[in-house]
Amino acid sequence: MLSSITSRLSRNISVFNGRSFVRQFASASAETVNIKLPESSFKTYKCDPPSLDIEVTKDELLRLYKEMAVMRRMETAADGLYKSKMIRGFCHLCTGQEAVAVGMEAAITEDDAIITAYRCHGFTYVRGGTIHSILAELMGRKAGISRGKGGSMHMFSKNFYGGNGIVGAQVPVGTGVAFTQKYLEKKNATFILYGDGAANQGQVFEAFNMAKLWDLPAIFVCENNFFGMGTAAGRSSANAQYYTRGQYIPGLQVNGMDVLAVKQACSWAKNWTTNDQGPLVLEMVTYRYGGHSMSDPGTSYRTREEIQHMRSTKDPITGLRQRILELGFSTDDEIKKLEKEARAVVEEAVAEAQKEPQPDESEIFTNIYAKGTEPPIIRGREREEFAVMNQ
């Protein structure tokens, strides 16, 4: 990790006018450093790589750290709530993959769009969903981000098109979103996420072709966590170099366990596509620590040692913590405090979300058709109404 940061760190205090209190203020927040990412951060396919130099501020690093820490806490809380049967249904956690969502969001603006599959809690959080609304959704409460009607796989927010449960279906959908950005001549891009397993759905290739044909600002992002349920990537994919699978679309493989590499790659990709250079395929090499979903212990198709090894050598949160410590941006104690805050925020959200009521029963019939266009009766209702009227 140390070697990855150049000793030529240019520590320049950007907001500095000589007065000491400003200097102090500056060193507490806006001090920028130039970090050199390791060469191994990227591998390219038919394009030049992004720069390995990335400029960051202390503030930003601490923010990224906290976001990842909160995300992990939130997923841990979801795990607990599921096990105590407060969360029903199918629930997929992103523990281990935090750097992808956090790094991506750090690189884009809220006018850029994201769409992903069912492993969506982390993305919902970075896209502005509150922890409260995410946990409430998981527990099927009225205050949930989808009014308690979606559950784990169906979460949405502004410019975040979900949360999609059918593997691969979101990929052409995201391509359509990207088309509107081009049509409206916006300098925005759509990040379309899918897994290493999903990469084999025919729809993915159909979307690739359309995006390239029309040069859309579509950034296809394969989150390669090495498994699609129990199947290892190499056993499902004839070519497991996912960043090369766009054939005629340039690609970039990214160390998805390093939030800064992810950020750099996403900034680069956005810049590429919004300059009308057409779509890209990014492969975020990452790892999920838990099982595929809550009903999968996740240890029958890989060894505990493998998981432990990834945790201890590749963890995105530990990695960033080391970087922060090495830069002297924070002390161990300060980071512990951040961790504590993250835990407190999540614990409070858990407690609050649990108090939320379930949606009204009338919600059974809402959001199916546009308001005012519903059929006069929704079949299946008459029986009960008949019974009621005859009471």
Our finding on whether 19 is near other proteins (CB under 8 A) is no
Footprint of ligand TPP on 110-129 (CB under 6 A)? 119
User: Who contacts 78 (Cβ-Cβ below 8 Å, separation ≥6)?
Assistant: 87, 91, 93, 121, 135, 138, 152
Our finding on whether 340 is near other proteins (CB under 8 A) is no
| Closer Cβ to ligand TPP, 291 or 319, answer by number | 291
Beta carbon of residue 264, minimum distance to ligand TPP (angstroms, whole number): 23
Phi-psi group of 164: left, alpha or beta (phi > 0 → left; psi -120 to 50 → alpha; rest → beta): beta
User: Who contacts 59 (Cβ-Cβ below 8 Å, separation ≥6)?
Assistant: 29, 30
In one-letter notation, the amino acid at residue 222 is C
Beta carbon of residue 284, minimum distance to ligand TPP (angstroms, whole number): 11
In one-letter notation, the amino acid at residue 332 is D
- Which of 43, 66, 149, 343 is close enough to bind other proteins by CB under 8 A? 149
Our finding on whether 283 is near Mg ion (CB under 5 A) is no
Considering CB distances under 5 to 8 angstroms, the limit depending on partner class, which of Mg ion, ligand TPP, other proteins, none binds residue 360? other proteins
Stretch that binds ligand TPP, among 22-30, 105-113, 163-171, 314-322 (CB under 6 A): 163-171
Our finding on whether 196 is near ligand TPP (CB under 6 A) is yes
Show the tokens assigned to 233: 């990537």
- Which of 227, 268, 287, 329 is close enough to bind ligand TPP by CB under 6 A? 227
Q: Alpha-carbon distance 170 to 115, whole Å?
A: 7
Footprint of ligand TPP on 258-287 (CB under 6 A)? none
Q: Alpha-carbon distance 81 to 87, whole Å?
A: 6
Residue pair 164/170 in contact by the 8 Å Cβ criterion: yes
Footprint of other proteins on 57-96 (CB under 8 A)? 84-86, 88-90
Our finding on whether 239 is near other proteins (CB under 8 A) is no
| Closer Cβ to Mg ion, 230 or 357, answer by number | 230
Show the tokens assigned to 202: 């025919």
| Closer Cβ to other proteins, 65 or 242, answer by number | 242
Helices (H), the chain: 20-29, 58-83, 98-107, 121-126, 131-138, 170-183, 202-213, 233-236, 259-274, 304-314, 316-326, 332-355, 382-389
| Closer Cβ to other proteins, 154 or 263, answer by number | 154
Beta carbon of residue 256, minimum distance to Mg ion (angstroms, whole number): 11
| Closer Cβ to other proteins, 213 or 368, answer by number | 368
